[in-house]
Chain A
Amino acid sequence: MSDTIVSAAAHAAPVPAWETAAAEAGPETANLPMTKALNAGLRLAMQDNPKVLLMGEDIGPLGGVFRVTEGLYAEFGDKRVLDTPLAESGIIGTAIGLALRGFRPVCEIQFDGFVFPGFDQITSQLSRMRNRHEGGVCMPVVIRIPYGGHIGSIEHHQESPEAYFAHTPGLRVVSPSNPHDAYWMMQEAIASDDPIIFFEPKSRYWPKGEVNLGSSGIPLHASRVVRTGTDVTVLGHGAMVSVLLQSADLAAAEGISIEVIDLRSISPVDYGPILASVEKTGHLVVAQEAHGFVSVGSEIAATVMEKAFYLLEAPVLRVSGFDTPFPPAAVETHFLPSPDRVLEAVDRALAY
């Protein structure tokens, strides 16, 4: 897989304001993998606010199984970086208590498939606590979840469970696709007074990308056009964005101009850039690693058809993981939407 990331230079996208500002400001950039960008974002948030603390399994001296918290235990100590007992409901439930006490916990769930022991505390307690208190409390809790396939791992280690959380009122759900967004979105999520489920695309943990350290350039819950095009809009989040950019490269060679949107925020969805793009292209393909049935992609497809019916020249099409358990890694490439699967949908959309 290509290490392509969101880059104006590589994809002839409109130059975001922050990139211009960075050029003027000088060397306020760093070339980092997402793991280091997240680490830097966490460090800044912890330096900025003594109430920010990290909780999770193996996040202390080890630095987490993906090393996202590496060095933070040594820097901030065991009162800011809590290696917890191995119990996800316990992690989330005690984080709620800490938030009631005025702390801003950032919880690490070790792998996507391990979040479900904590699901009840997230959906029945964390998401409703402010509402139950009639606004009297905030729940500034971030739950980091490494997610998604492409890493050839074993069962329960390659899931994409974001729809469960997006379906739950009271939660916000985001996913960065690149190191720059990871750096900024982590800090913005920690600063939010609402609970945020922060999905980190595992397969994008290691490719390096440019991080503008001076400005995020875009709000947390904004979607972004990362490559302009005129024929078809394709949309996705997390690791899917790099697949979509590869699709766009392949399509360009065949004379098809694809516009790529990085969703960034799964809940709420920022429909502004999506509808503006559909107005231009008249075609939308939504791609996701998650199972398609009752998915985030289904919701976006339905909403765009409601809001932009007369702008569309074809139905909104979905490219998803199949409605099966995530398969053995040996056959995951058949399960995961590939650039070619995206282009198959692009062709169908254009054939209407």
Chain B
Amino acid sequence: MSATSNASPTVQLLSPAGVFAPSETAAEFLPYLDQLTEADYRRFYRDMVVIRRFDKEAANLQRQGQLALWVPSHGQEAAQVGSAHATRPQDHIFPSYREHVVGMIRGLDLVDILRMLRGVTLGGWTPEDHGNFHLYTLVLASQTLHATGYAMGMQLDGSTATGNPETDQAVIVYFGDGASSQGDANEALVFAASYQTPQVFFLQNNHWAISVPVTRQSRTPLYLRAGGFGIPGTQVDGNDVLASYAVTAKHLDDARAGRGPALIEALTYRVGAHTTADDPTKYRDPEELAYWVARDPIVRFRAYLQGLGVEMEFLDAVDEEAEDNAADVRRRALEIHSPEKNVIFDNVYAEPHPLLQEQEAWLERYEASFEGGDA
């Protein structure tokens, strides 16, 4: 179990009780807090609350047969909201498949995520039209290499490290403690270190890869692996939205400025199931769950905001907005149309392919043969 006391290496700004009490390791990241206003704090809180309510609604939709599967993000809101707000518009985000709020912050319609999980598309959105938020990748860690190649491309086309932070680009790639064992994650770190890509590896250690604990993945804290690749590694309290923001902002700034890649390990917890097909009561200790529920990222930040004097009306309004958003998502999810059958063939190749043309024409004739006929 990860400890988050001031003696630990974990960067923390807010105690679990919501008191501003920076860890010793937080010093180099503190200046990044100065970039934030109270409006930003309210936005962070609002995003966390809205996405948790959305997450619950999506799980309900799955239980009611409206989605093939749902991938809950409950518990990981601070890691995701803090890191997402540290990105700049010109950055590119390569998610895994649980980063719903990162997509929302980058301008993605949450219903687009549901379209994929409802089984009407294999993708769901156009990254360049949605804040450079790339598609979800379901094979673990595959996207870490795509992200690294993309970051290499930024270097090759001169879009980074020019000295202008308003335009210099960087990549952030999300993956998890389970994915950290994949060869691709390690190859991505090798390539990133070798080419010194403008890139942040954001590892959400939610402690469970479906039913397998992180202790099976690693005998060492995951952020320490960065040293073996020759890049900086930082462990952050992933349930502390301000710490997640500050640490990510610093490493992304370094990446944009040409100071190379970094690995962030955000300690958080998958409070819910891996997916709606999972049953964590079969393998998880209830005491462990209780430990983490007591460190809830939303409760913590709410307490901090209240300490700052944020009025109750705002907090209530956020709850109301979250309810409204969930209702809106539900309504629009039920209106999602199934695609026409031509999507089977349409975009497999960019250029004409005789075998697919033949098969598509055959399917057309075959299905037409039933229309108005005896069959």
Chain A residues proximal to chain B, CB less than 8 Å: 53, 79, 84-85, 87, 89-90, 92-103, 117, 120-121, 124-125, 128, 130-136, 138-139, 169-170, 172, 192-194, 268-270
Contacts and interface: CB of A to CB of B under 8 A. Distances in A.
Given A97-B148, A102-B153, 9 more contacts: A87-B191, A89-B183, A97-B151, A101-B153, A120-B139, A125-B137, A132-B123, A135-B350, A192-B351
Contacts of A120: 139, 142, 184
B317 interface: no
A269 B353 CA distance: 10
A101 B197 CA distance: 14
A65 B294 CA distance: 59
Chain A CB within 10 Å — which of B137, B145, B157, B346 has the most?
B145
Contacts of A192: 350-351
B148 A94 contact: yes
A133 B145 contact: no
Chain B CB within 10 Å — which of A85, A117, A130, A133 has the most?
A133
B333 to A, nearest CB: 19
Given A87-B187, A90-B187, A170 B149 contact: no
Interface string B133-151: 0110101001011111111
A94 B195 CA distance: 11
B22 to A, nearest CB: 36
Interface of B: 121-123, 126-127, 134-135, 137, 139, 142, 144-154, 156-157, 183-184, 187-188, 190-191, 194, 343, 346-351, 353-355
B145 A85 contact: no
Contacts, number: 131
30 contacts: A84-B191, A85-B191, A89-B184, A90-B184, A93-B148, A94-B146, A94-B149, A96-B146, A97-B146, A97-B149, A97-B153, A98-B150, A98-B156, A100-B134, A100-B146, A100-B149, A103-B156, A121-B184, A124-B142, A130-B348, A134-B346, A134-B347, A135-B347, A136-B123, A136-B126, A139-B350, A170-B348, A194-B349, A194-B351, A268-B354
Contacts of B137: 125
A198 B348 CA distance: 19
A92 B142 CA distance: 10
Given A130-B349, A133-B347, A96 B145 contact: yes
A280 to B, nearest CB: 22
Contacts of A87: 187, 190-191
Contacts of A132: 122-123, 135
A11 B118 CA distance: 59
Given A124-B139, A193-B351, A268-B353, A85 B187 contact: yes
Contacts of A121: 142, 145, 184
Given A97-B146, A121-B142, A132-B135, A90 B347 contact: no
Contacts of A172: 349
B156 A79 contact: yes
Contacts of B348: 130-131, 169-170
A53 B126 contact: no
Given A85-B194, A136-B126, A192-B351, A93 B187 contact: yes
B355 A125 contact: no
Contacts of A92: 145
A102 B353 CA distance: 23
Nearest to B134: A100
A94 B122 contact: no
Contact of B145 (A94, A128, A136, A270): A94
Nearest to B142: A125
A130 B350 contact: yes
B157 to A, nearest CB: 7
A130 B356 CA distance: 15
B45 to A, nearest CB: 34
Contacts of B355: 268-269
